[in-house]
Amino acid sequence: MPTNPPSASVQPYNGPIAVLPDGFGVRIEIAADDETRTQGLMFRDRVPEGTGMLFIFPKPDEFGFWMKNTLVPLDMIWIDEQLRVVHVEANVPPCKADPCPSYPPHAIAKYVLELGTGQASKHRVVNGSTLRLERLDNVVVR
């Protein structure tokens, strides 16, 4: 009689989370220094649902983003210091040739959250909605 192999154990996730307006939690990678903010999600062939990258800046400003070397379309969400969404740029296409266009928010932000395309609308992220950021206590912003 064959036996079923033991199921793989699922490791609990204790890293940073962005909680979207509908309560959905996104596991986020942090880009909090010039090197990680410059690299961003470059060269990734996918951004799985439920994951993303949070760019944290030392001080609020108007931060334009581009898609150089980014292989998949993204939703970009600019967030102010009060964690209110100030701009959403949905379904931003990968850059196919230099010079790559820049996507300015025309708003002051402290954070930018990048998700796989379609995730912002699916989870009701719109201008004026509020997000919650959890487990960022040990993040050093440079």
pTM: 0.91
Per the structure, the count of domains in the chain is 1
* Domain assignment of residue 9, yes or no: no
86-142 confidence digits (pLDDT tens):
999 999 999 988 999 999 999 999 999 999 999 999 999 999 999 999 999 999 999
Q: Minimal CA–CA distance to 51: which of 17, 27, 24?
A: 27
Is 3 within a domain? no
Domain span at residue 24 reads 17-134
- Is 10 a domain residue? no
CA 71 to chain centre: 15
Is 139 within the bounds of a domain?
no
The proportion of the chain whose per-residue pLDDT surpasses 70, expressed as a percent, equals 93
